[in-house]
Amino acid sequence: MSSLLRVVLQRLGLGVMTLFVVSLIIAFVVELLPGDITQAMLGQSATPETVAAFRAEIGLDRPAHIRYLEWLHGMLTGDMGQSLASKREIAGFVGPRLANTLFLGGMAAAIAIPLALFLGLLAALYRNSLYDRIVNMVTLTSISFPEFFVAYILILFFSVKGGFFPGISNVSTDLAFGDKLFRTVLPALTLTLVVLAHMLRMTRAAIINLLASPYIEMARLKGTRPFRIILHHALPNAWGPIVNVIALNLAYLVVGVVVVEVVFVYPGLGQLLVDSVSKRDLPVVQACAMIFAAVYILLNLLSDIVSIVSNPRLLHPR
């Protein structure tokens, strides 16, 4: 047990280190610009007075390490500073948007994960069959589709032509849960389709890999039924790779969410990030980037830990 604990703690430490270095990069990326960020943002015509005022406003007049420590402290305590464009407290409007994004991502994951596992399992079981080959072609094609293409096709068929679901998902906090669910269907479906292909292919590969190992052949030779082989022999060992696949794709959702939110005008963090980039509102971009990066790193960390913990060799050390 102690070796397991040690490995888990090691991974946790590594994750925290990564998070720390990423926060350093996000905070110091400003210094990358040759010359001065204020010049670039205010334009050449800015007077020295405005430049000085702006520098004081975003705190550029103080030493870098103090700025970083203050920013990190703010990030950890929920005080993310002020938006340059609207002068509002960032923490105030980031919170509900983060909740919306997590809701959308969670819904997409709830549809995509069981579906991908089931279809991937089937493709692995009946590999090289017609079903498997069709799945291969379809997933290879859908991986190549840009997210917004999938989104607009869904809007065209389910919203414009069919009229089943709204094509704009302007959810707000005072909406009833059912109503919110209804308006989130199309974006969630888009995200599902985007990650489904990847997840399916990876599940299939992981299971096929396992089915080739000698102990599975042994089980088959002694006459165990295929379904029982999968459930009792393959699956316990497949949890590690499968969880890895899920986490990788949840992380992928984090990126897909940005485009999908913009298509459906969904008030989430991704849309805020895109808006802030076009307004060059640096503090908001930094806060959003940090949140996205943290979620991504934590998901990867979680998958790492689960695959370690579910590894029979580590669970039962000799």
Partner 1 sequence: MQGAIRLFLGAPISAKIGLLIVFVYACVAIFAPWIAPYSETSIVGSSYELWSDEFIFGTDNIGRDMLSRLIYGARNTIGIAFATVVLAFLIGGITGMLVAILGGWSDLLIGRLVDILMAVPSLIFALLLLTIFGTSIPSLIVIIAVLDSTRVFRIARSAAMNVVVMDFVEVAQLRGERMWWVIRKEVLPNIMAPLLAEFGLRFCFVFLFIAALSFLGLGIQPPTADWGSMVRENATLINYNDITPLLPAAAIAGLTVAVNFVVDWMLHLSSGLRSD
Q: Is 85 helix (H, G, I), strand (E, B) or coil?
A: coil
CA 278, CA 280: separation in Å to the nearest integer? 5
Query: Given candidates 83, 285, 304, 307, which one binds partner 1 under the rule CB under 8 A?
Result: 285
Cross-strand pairs, 82: 89
Instruction: Please state the closest distance from residue 9 (CB atom) to partner 1, in A.
Output: 19
- The reply on whether position 297 binds partner 1 by CB under 8 A is yes
Task: Kindly tell me which of 207 and 263 has the beta carbon lying closer to partner 1.
Answer: 263
CB 75 within 8 A of CB 290: yes
The amino acid occupying position 207 is: I
Closest separation in Å from C-beta 75 to partner 1: 15
Sketch the per residue contact string, 139 through 168, with partner 1: x for CB under 8 A, - otherwise: -xx-xxxxxxx--xx-xx---xx-----x-
What span, in angstroms and rounded, lies between the C-alpha atoms of 152 and 171? 19
Which three-class secondary structure state does DSSP give residue 72? helix
Angle at 5 between CA 11 and CA 18, to 5 degrees: 15
Q: Give yes or no for a contact between 312 and 237, defined as CB atoms under 8 angstroms apart.
A: yes
**For the window 13-52, what string marks contact with partner 1 as x by the rule CB under 8 A?**
-----x--xx--xx--xx-xx---x--x------------
CB of 194 to partner 1, least distance (A): 11
Binding of partner 1 by 109 (CB under 8 A):
no
Residue 266 vs 296, nearer CB to partner 1: 296
Smallest CA-to-CA distance from 300 within 37, 28, 11 is with 11
Q: How many Cβ atoms are within 10 Å of 46's Cβ, its own excluded?
A: 15
Q: Dmax over Cα atoms in the chain, in whole Å?
A: 85
**DSSP designation for 82:** B
- Looking at the Cβ atoms of 136 and 311, the one nearer to partner 1 is 136
Q: What is the contact mask toward partner 1 in residues 234 to 273, using x (rule: CB under 8 A)?
A: -----------------x--xx--xx--xx---------x
Binding-site ranges for partner 1 (CB under 8 A): 18, 21-22, 25-26, 29-30, 32-33, 37, 40, 140-141, 143-149, 152-153, 155-156, 160-161, 167, 251, 254-255, 258-259, 262-263, 273-274, 276-278, 280-282, 285-286, 289, 292-293, 296-297, 300
